[in-house]
Amino acid sequence: MDWNQALQESLSWLAVASLITIAGFAAAGALAVRFTHWGGQFWQIAGPYLRPKHSWRPLLVFTLLLVLTLFSVRMNVLFSFWYNGFYSALQGLDQPAFWYLLGVFAILATIHVLRALFTYYVTQAFSIHWRVWLNDRMTADWMRGDAYYRGQFLAEPVDNPDQRIELDVNNFVTGSVSLALGAVSALVSLVAFTAILWGLSAPLEVGGVEIPRAMVFAVYIYVIVATWIAFRLGRPLIRLNFFNEKLTANFRYALMRLRENAENVAFYQGTGIERQTLLGRFAALIGNVWALVYRSLKFDGFNLAISQVAVVFPFILQAPRFFSGAIKLGDVMQTSQAFGQVQDSLSFFRSSYDAFAQYRATLDRLTGFLDANQQARTLPRVTTQEQAGVLEIDGMQVLRPDGFRLLADLNLRLAPGQALLIKGPSGSGKTTLLRALAGLWPYAEGEVRRPGGNQALFLSQRPYLPLGDLRTAIAYPASSAAEDEDRLKQVLRQVNLAHLTEQLDLSQDWTRILSVGEQQRLAFARVLFNRPQIVFLDESTSAMDEGLEHALYSLLREEMRDTMLVSIGHRSTLANFHTHRLEVDGRGSWSLFEA
Ligand SMILES: Nc1ncnc2c1ncn2[C@@H]1O[C@H](COP(=O)(O)OP(=O)(O)OP(=O)(O)O)[C@@H](O)[C@H]1O
């Protein structure tokens, strides 16, 4: 190799290889997207990001990554020629060449280090931007059209959306980048180093038959046979790794559930049975870990042995020519290196089999998630029109998921300041009616006109406090600004939670700290803070005594005279605060009374 020409040659090699690789990659990518299932899935997830319509940047950066991958292959090729020259100089006791090649090495090594760091940075930046975009898309898609809630009504609801958003998005991005660049690197290295081996190999006579370029054929046969055996040995690892993830998740879920329900378990003194569950799940996990260990012993043992043989195999093949003086030490060393590179490149496809299987599982989970969200959005819901200052229900039918009719043909109208109390036996569909009015319940028909957006507030049976500080919890779903401080304190005092006024900025797990009754009072503070035109209260005072319930309803009526109320409640004392009463029997019939 003429090192004076190396830069120029390398640049033209890089230009040609880049053009071929980019064209080949684009063509292979388009074919995969068009004709393979996984390609289609990939495009469903990543298409909107990679399309130039969105931005040219991702495509340009990925192209840069392809070029950097080729650059890395070229560096390896240069190093292999450097080794050749260096060992030949040593063998020839050629001191000037020795020092000259050390100088060349300094340049090569500097470029190599800078290239590696730059490639690392660009790969990470590309992955991070992609992950940010994908996370944004997935969470937005999950929230859009209430898919996160309505997904439960699908025939096959998706499991663990949290895992899909957090873990699978990350795995998808890293998997896509590493598999794509790994395959390109392996293929280009394969071509480049096969060419080097081709140049270094001589014919070999086996049983009187002369095999031309025997070295190249020997490498391929060696690696293909080794790959096939390793593949057979390693195949069960895919299943074992899959189980490992699943069993770990099961164990972690059991631990998390115990933590979530600590108080209940403690009251029941149920630690014995909980421990049994934990140990049972852990035993399953550990059983699988042992299976992984035994399988890895065979698999890694074989791989280690093969790579040890691979150290000497090229030397053995080239030994006769070296000792006969036909080739130099440098050629032998370069042969060994090229042999290693070809072996690595071919091995990539074997070792990636596992990674690719996991990648396909990730694709399944992400596309399954997007499809389920889409289906959840297309589930029917009552037609809701936003209209200020009125609640009108026309021809509403509410069914159970099994088709049983809970409520038939409901019609009613509320004007500002009016209040409706819904009563009926347990399980008669009162909460479900509120779900239908909120547009959440898919098994309902009819038309609803009511205030929308922030002007309607639904307080559900189980109080909900978001993560974060207390001011966020009070203002929810609105956000609170600094100037709201006085109003926040005032509404807290109004609902008898004056002791919390100094803790507005404290981030705690408020659901755990506050009693259910206090959480219900906080929900009333939320109503007073947001002042909506209509409030739906589903047994929102169930944990309070009658006196407190009376005080809070009186407060609502005094402070928000024009607000419409729709309450569900069992206590007769509630009737005083409502202008209308709707009684449902849970079999379709209903009666409306005016107070
Ligand atoms: N997601 C669901 N899947 C299947 N059935 C459901 C679902 N949600 C509610 N149901 C059923 O619909 C019926 C009405 O439930 P709903 O919660 O509306 O009753 P309710 O009148 O509010 O009862 P309670 O007074 O006890 O709160 C019940 O039989 C319940 O089991």
Condensed to tens digits (0 to 9), the pLDDT of residues 305-358 reads 988 888 898 888 888 888 988 888 888 888 888 888 888 888 887 777 778 888
**pLDDT reading at 64 higher than 80:** yes
Q: What are phi and psi of 581, to 5 degrees?
A: -135, 130
Report the percentage of the chain scoring pLDDT > 70.
100
Q: Which of 148, 128, 129 is nearest to 138 (CA)?
A: 148
CB-defined site of ligand 1, < 6 Å: 400-401, 424, 426-432
| pLDDT of 277 | 93
| pLDDT of 414 | 92
Segment 552-568 shows an average pLDDT of 92
| pLDDT of 240 | 87
Ligand 1 atom nearest to 461, measured from its CA: 27
Asked whether the CA dihedral 170, 55, 17, 106 is positive or negative, the reply is negative
Rounded Cα–Cα distance for residues 183 and 380 (Å): 45
- What is the CA(444)–ligand 1 centre distance, in A? 14
Rounded Cα–Cα distance for residues 455 and 391 (Å): 12
175 and 210 together in one domain: no
Rounded Cα–Cα distance for residues 574 and 554 (Å): 10
pLDDT, tens only, 405-418: 999 999 999 999 99
Rounded Cα–Cα distance for residues 459 and 526 (Å): 10
Residue 283: inside a domain = yes
94 and 132 together in one domain: yes
Give the other-Cβ count within 10 Å of 451's Cβ: 20
- What is the CA(254)–ligand 1 centre distance, in A? 27
- What is the CA(589)–ligand 1 centre distance, in A? 16
Protein residue with least CA distance to atom 14, ligand 1: 429
Residue 293: inside a domain = yes
Angle, to 10 degrees, between the axis of helix 214-260 and the axis of helix 271-323? Answer: 170
Domain end point (choices 341, 358, 379):
379
8 Å CB contact between 431 and 542 = no
Ligand 1 atom nearest to 584, measured from its CA: 21
Strands (E), 340-496: 383-386, 391-399, 405-414, 419-423, 444-450, 456-459
313 and 421 together in one domain: no
8 Å CB contact between 458 and 438 = yes
Structural element, H or E, at residue 23? helix 6-35
pLDDT, tens only, 236-251: 887 888 788 889 888 9
pLDDT, tens only, 118-127: 999 999 999 9
- What is the CA(429)–ligand 1 centre distance, in A? 6
147 and 189 together in one domain: yes
Protein residue with least CA distance to atom 10, ligand 1: 400
Number of domains in the chain: 3
410 and 521 together in one domain: yes
Give the total residue count for the chain. 595
pLDDT, tens only, 454-491: 899 998 878 888 888 888 889 888 887 777 888 899 99
| pLDDT of 318 | 85
461 and 588 together in one domain: yes
Most ligand 1 atoms within 8 A of CB, residue of 146, 153, 396, 428 to mutate: 428
| Longest CA pairwise span in the chain (Å) | 114
Rounded Cα–Cα distance for residues 265 and 273 (Å): 10
pLDDT band at 295; cut points 50, 70, 90: very high
243 and 173 together in one domain: no
Residue 335: inside a domain = no
- What is the CA(295)–ligand 1 centre distance, in A? 50
| pLDDT of 361 | 83
| pLDDT of 219 | 81
**pLDDT reading at 544 higher than 90:** no
Residue type, 180: A
8 Å CB contact between 55 and 295 = no
Protein residue with least CA distance to atom 3, ligand 1: 401
**pLDDT reading at 25 higher than 90:** yes
Most ligand 1 atoms within 8 A of CB, residue of 421, 432, 540 to mutate: 432
Rounded Cα–Cα distance for residues 123 and 62 (Å): 8
**pLDDT reading at 175 higher than 90:** yes
pLDDT band at 156; cut points 50, 70, 90: confident
For 505, the 3-state DSSP assignment is: coil
424 and 449 together in one domain: yes
- What is the CA(407)–ligand 1 centre distance, in A? 12
Rounded Cα–Cα distance for residues 145 and 431 (Å): 20
What's the burial of 483, exposed, middle or buried (CB within 10 Å: 0-12/13-18/19+)? exposed
Instruction: Give every CB contact of residue 374 below 8 A, 6+ residues apart in sequence.
Output: 147
Residue 477: inside a domain = yes
| pLDDT of 349 | 77
Residue 339: inside a domain = no
Q: Which two tokens stand for residue 54?
A: 């969105």
Q: Is 582 left (phi over 0), alpha (psi -120 to 50) or beta?
A: beta
- What is the CA(425)–ligand 1 centre distance, in A? 11
Segment 295-308 shows an average pLDDT of 90
Domain end point (choices 325, 340, 365):
325
Number of H helices, E strands in the chain: 17, 12
Residue 331: inside a domain = no
What is the DSSP secondary structure assignment for residue 292, as one 8-state letter? H
Protein residue with least CA distance to atom 19, ligand 1: 427
| pLDDT of 451 | 93
Report the percentage of the chain scoring pLDDT > 90.
55
**pLDDT reading at 173 higher than 90:** yes
For 209, the 3-state DSSP assignment is: strand
164 and 74 together in one domain: yes
161 and 210 together in one domain: no
Model pTM score: 0.81
- Between the two ends of the chain, the Cα-to-Cα distance in Å is 101
505 and 583 together in one domain: yes
| pLDDT of 472 | 87
Asked whether the CA dihedral 469, 470, 474, 475 is positive or negative, the reply is negative
More confident residue, 279 or 207: 279
- What is the CA(153)–ligand 1 centre distance, in A? 13
Give the other-Cβ count within 10 Å of 338's Cβ: 30
Residue 472: inside a domain = yes
Protein residue with least CA distance to atom 28, ligand 1: 427
Task: Find the domain containing 165 and state its range.
Answer: 1-202+349-379
Ligand 1 atom nearest to 434, measured from its CA: 18
Burial profile 301-320: b = 16 or more Cβ within 10 angstroms, e = fewer: ebbeebeeebeebbeebbee
404 and 514 together in one domain: yes
- What is the CA(500)–ligand 1 centre distance, in A? 34
| pLDDT of 243 | 85
Ligand 1 atom nearest to 400, measured from its CA: 12
Q: Is beta strand 204-206 parallel, antiparallel or unpaired with respect to 209-211?
A: antiparallel
| pLDDT of 157 | 85
Domain end point (choices 379, 400, 420):
379
Residue 338: inside a domain = no
Q: Which two tokens stand for residue 143?
A: 């929230």
| pLDDT of 223 | 82
